[in-house]
A and B are shown apart, each in its own frame.
Chain A
Amino acid sequence: MQYYEKAASVSTPWVRLDPELGRIDLVGESYPANSFEFYQPIVEWLSAYLALDSVHPVHVELELSYVNTGSIKSMLDLFDLLEQAHQDGRAVAVVWKYDSRNQRALETAEEFSEDVSFPFKTLDTFVP
């Protein structure tokens, strides 16, 4: 499995896919011109990681302050893979970090968590 890292841009998050840790990180904002193209390598990486074996856990850390509707569709593809892995008995967990001054980021996270049955935690990062 390949380690993958991509720097953030104005409209795309920092991405890190670490097979050693079984961990995915996405940090930043997500509104690329072509969200399908941007998320495709991430979806493929996760598929390949899940196909390696059925025991290694997956931990996903998201800190996305803005996600456009195109990216939301692609992220659902990721969550579908995670949900299936969880149904198959694998340990899957998602932590979504947000700043409580921006309630919309929390709403975005909650609308994802409503669709899944694996552990999905939202974490407020704002320090008053």
Chain B
Amino acid sequence: MKGLNLWDLRQQLDAANILICFNGPLSQSIIEQLGVAVRRHLEGEALDEGTLYDVFAVYIEQSQNIQNYTAKKAAEGIHASPGSSGVHFDAATIAIGRVEPDHYLVTAGNPVAKADLPALTALLDALAGLDADGLKALYREQRRKPRTGSGAGLGLIDMARKASRPLEYQVREMDEHTAYFHLIAVI
């Protein structure tokens, strides 16, 4: 069995300027406590209130999107991928770091059923093509829509409005039914 080399993991996180990283099943209390820790840390860096707020807000939206997706899958009776990886849908990875002196990275990854990917990536691709006014208009339209599906729409638009550049994503195959979806926001 190949053991985990924590030192290598730490070196990798340090090299990417990651302040806080979490990997495992998410819960509301973990989201809250990590959020408090992130805020304390950023307050220590004497960040202006606006940036601090945006980093926290994007972190909350990302982690709650994953939590909501996990809950939606669980409601369908699916807790883990039916594919060969058998990965659990609640297995999330979240990291917050500093990418440039004035910019922060808020990023999260989670297993997503391949069938759910096209709608998600289509929305993100559409958001990348919108300017601030376009995002605001879409936000106002979306927040009036009834609660349906995963509810991820409004959260993603909100993140796009708070990010200083278009949201990016990466998709990596985990098994025949499931992909690892990685969302990247820079504030």
Contact = CB atoms under 8 A, between A and B. Distances in A.
Given A10-B32, A33-B28, A68 B50 contact: no
Given A33-B64, A68-B64, A72-B154, A101 B143 contact: no
B144 A76 contact: yes
A21 to B, nearest CB: 30
A33 B28 CA distance: 6
B67 A33 contact: yes
B154 to A, nearest CB: 4
Contacts of B175: none
A103 B143 contact: no
A72 to B, nearest CB: 6
Contacts of B35: 10
Q: What is the interface residue range for chain A against chain B?
A: 20 to 34
A76 B64 contact: no
Given A36-B147, A69-B143, A73-B154, A11 B53 contact: no
A69 B158 contact: yes
Given A10-B32, A72-B143, A101-B49, A31 B60 contact: yes
Interface string A35-73: 010000000000000000000000000000010111011
A125 to B, nearest CB: 14
B98 to A, nearest CB: 20
A102 interface: yes
Interface in A63-100: 66, 68-70, 72-73, 76, 99
Contacts of A66: 53, 56-57, 60
B151 A70 contact: yes
Query: Top 4 A-B pairs ranked by shortest CB distance?
Result: A33-B28, A69-B154, A102-B49, A104-B53
Interface of B: 28, 31-32, 35-36, 49-50, 53-54, 56-57, 60-61, 64, 67, 140, 143-144, 147, 151, 154-155, 158
17 contacts: A10-B32, A11-B28, A32-B28, A33-B64, A33-B67, A36-B147, A66-B57, A68-B57, A68-B60, A68-B61, A69-B61, A70-B154, A70-B155, A73-B147, A73-B154, A99-B49, A101-B49
